[in-house]
Amino acid sequence: MSTSTLDHAHDHGHDHAHDHPHGLSRWLFATNHKDIGTLYLWFSFIMLLSGGVLALAIRTELFKPGLQFFQPEFFNQLTTMHGLVMVFGAIMPAFVGFANWMIPLQIGASDMAFARMNNFSFWLLPPAALLLATSFLVPGGATAAGWTLYAPLSTQMGMGMDMGIFAMHLMGASSIMGSINIIVTILNMRAPGMTLMKMPMFCWTWLITAYLLIAVMPVLAGAITMTLTDRHFGTSFFNAAAGGDPVMYQHIFWFFGHPEVYIMILPAFGIVSQILPAFARKQLFGYASMVYATASIAILSFIVWAHHMFTTGMPVTSQLFFMYATMLIAVPTGVKVFNWIATMWRGSMTFETPMLFAVGFIFVFTIGGFTGLILAVTPIDIQLQDTYYVVAHFHYVLVAGSLFALFAGFYYWSPKWTGHMYNETMGKIHFWLSLITFNVTFFPMHFLGLAGMPRRYADYSAQFTDFNMIATIGAFGFGLSQAFFLFGVIIPTIRGGKKAEAKPWDGAEGLEWTVPSPAPFHTFETPPQFK
């Protein structure tokens, strides 16, 4: 064997090892979209459990009136960090994990467009999470300004606030890079014949979400950077005594914050829009109208931000504008709900776990949507602002909305990811436990809010005790349900279990698909309506 051949063999071996690194380096230097998707999913699940522990601490304090365990200052640190961890650490990275795993597979791409940037955008998250977590340990503790970080509170807090600001900058940079990656992948790397209007709905919702992220993350960065310079560099953007305006902070924050709400729900719409047709064995009803509805929601989300600010003393004309604009956004959302129902109508439905979570999603998300519509009515909102009614409303959207859709997507795609089928009985138990305990936790909060109980208080008057006790018991049930999900579903599925078939959902429960329809994972076949 000549030396050049040996060299070549050595080089080839080296290349091969580089292509498939093992152990720690496989994950540290991952450029494969599936590995990075897996990293995102594990990170977000760990953050979900951490944020859940914070929530249970909040609920423990609120089990009875009076101060039981925590001082009000620490209680507010818990509420702030619970919000930041769940929004930026759990829900958003989980959807990015789904995007990484599924988008290349659904459009027939070999990988994401920018593989190394994909790695970088993930590895920005653990240091950010660490910054957030350790802010509890610095003098003054974590920030207690609420997850919205309103000035002037946020300009007075200790250095935990600075750690929070830097953590959010890192997470924002991660989101922007992830979004650029998703947009370029979808626009440039579709398989031949995969036109935009033939893409699976999940790709559409993520394409639109990615544009939203790129538009609003810099706005958040601006708001928290102005806060930072107010704190340390003598500016007075939000200091009224020096000519600044604390309400300006709210305008900037909510101009980010309202589209952010849709960033956390649009990918959920995409997942549900894929699961329902599979288990109803019918085409998605009104594919084009679903695409247009998603785009309308995204565009309208930019002109409703001040419905979060009805109590800041804005002119009545502004209140009217934001009230009507908010009601308008309910129209495309309603289109989606009716399309989902029409998809199921007279379908040959079976109720495996993904379908249960998808149908559960529609039910509870619709309740969240209705309470949002109620809060859009200015005079009602002025009464309910900063009460537990608002807490109930956005948890119905974010837990029963985003989180249930994430669960549905996990059960639907985990055969694809792991090669194993999860245990159907365990999945169904997880669904019913989650659905029941979720409603036990958050439904009473509507009544608490209507009765006038304010949020973010460590204490409350005795009249609110019963509902708070029910909510706390429900919360512990919900937390235990997710521990059950980890130990009863996720770990056994990864370790083994029944081998998944090539098309795991074909002929589920012995029913063949009655309508020609693209199988869930073979999405590059042209659906019949486009042939």
Active site residues: 82, 111, 147, 174-175, 258, 260, 262, 273, 307-308, 333, 336, 455
* Residues 6 or more apart whose Cβ sits within 8 Å of residue 329: 297, 300, 301, 304
- Omega before residue 152 within 30° of 0, cis: yes
Task: Please give the DSSP secondary-structure letter assigned to residue 523.
Answer: T
- Residue that has been written with the tokens 């304010």 in this structure: 454
Q: List, in sequence order, every residue forming a beta bridge with 195; answer none if it has no partner.
A: none
Give the C-alpha separation, 369 to 428, whole Å. Answer: 25
Chain Cα centroid distance, residue 455 = 22
**Contact assessment for residue 236 and residue 136, using Cβ atoms and an 8 Å cutoff:** no
Joined together, the tokens standing for residue 249 give 């902070």
**Contact assessment for residue 253 and residue 216, using Cβ atoms and an 8 Å cutoff:** no
**Contact assessment for residue 364 and residue 400, using Cβ atoms and an 8 Å cutoff:** yes
- In order of 193, 316, 361, 438, 483, the CA distances from 508 in angstroms are 29, 56, 21, 28, 28
Joined together, the tokens standing for residue 20 give 């498939």
Give the C-alpha separation, 7 to 244, whole Å. Answer: 68
Long-range pairs, 328-335, Cβ under 8 A, ≥24: 328/300, 329/297, 329/300, 329/301, 329/304, 330/369, 330/372, 330/373, 330/376, 331/296, 332/292, 332/293, 332/294, 332/296, 332/297, 332/300, 333/293, 333/297, 333/369, 334/369, 335/286, 335/289, 335/290, 335/293
Query: Quick one: CA torsion of 118, 123, 128, 131, rounded to 10 degrees?
Result: -170
**Contact assessment for residue 476 and residue 59, using Cβ atoms and an 8 Å cutoff:** yes
